[in-house]
Amino acid sequence: MSSWERFLDTFFKPETIEKYWLAILNGMAVTLELAAAVVLTGLILGLLLACIRSYGFRLSNWVIIAFVDIFRSLPPLVVILLIYFGLPNVGINIPSFAVIWIVLSLVLAAFAEEIFWAGITSTAKGQWEAGRSTGLTLTQTLRWVILPQAIRLGVPPLTNRTIAITKNTALGTVIGVPEILNEATTAQSFTGNATPLMMGAIAYLIVFVPVVIVGRWIETRFAWRRA
């Protein structure tokens, strides 16, 4: 067997591809579902926290800052293991899919809050004063004047951070979530061949390359252009 044939047999074995392609496809579906849930929940929560922080209530701001600092500092895997293996000791059992969703959503929310908050604070004070002078309440000024500018300013860093965090769905394999990496490593353990891992790598490219392309388009489309 030539070197090329050994390479093909190791990474692209036809029998293994035929046997496990459906499992990898199912893993892709779980990964997409999980990533979508994380993005939706994390961004909404991050925006909500930034809005609450803009009201300037000292106690709530301390809580938000503590939350943000903790979840930006801790590796997601540590939090996942603490919740999945620790909470059952006090009678709280959370499904593995929900654990990954909750943890990654909280991590994304922590980063998103800081990005949205940076956009809010970078908006000129005169914008707030102009809104209030026209009779708008603080909430209306925030909603109609400040947030559109803050969100647009935050699009580039928010897009990059969102993509980086959604790729952490692969951590689900540690606690048995049947996403791409879990299905690939399970198949590899049965076959003793690297083909399932290559299939998993290709699946990740299929899932996330379009996300990266869309993210680049969003950055270009909504980038802030100063006069």
- Domain total in the chain: 1
Per residue in 157-216, pLDDT tens?
888 888 889 899 999 999 999 999 999 999 999 999 999 999 999 999 999 999 888 888
CB of 24 within 8 A of CB of 180? yes
pLDDT score of 226 more than 50: no
What integer pLDDT is reported at residue 218 of this predicted model? 80
Tell me the residue length of the chain: 227
DSSP assignment string, 70-135: HHHHS-HHHHHHIIIIIGGGGT----HHHHHHHHHHHHHHHHHHHHHHHHHHHS-HHHHHHHHHTT
SS3 212: helix
The whole domain housing 57 covers 3-120+148-222
Averaged pLDDT, 76-89: 95
CA distance 175 to 198: 22
Residue 106 lies in a domain: yes
What integer pLDDT is reported at residue 227 of this predicted model? 37
The type of residue at 129 is: E
Per residue in 114-163, pLDDT tens?
999 999 998 888 888 888 888 888 899 999 999 988 888 888 888 888 88
Per residue in 22-51, pLDDT tens?
999 999 999 999 999 999 999 999 999 999
| CATH value at residue 198 | 1.10.3720.10
The pTM assigned to this predicted structure is: 0.91
Residue 43 lies in a domain: yes
Residue 135 lies in a domain: no
Q: Which residue has the higher pLDDT, 218 or 194?
A: 194
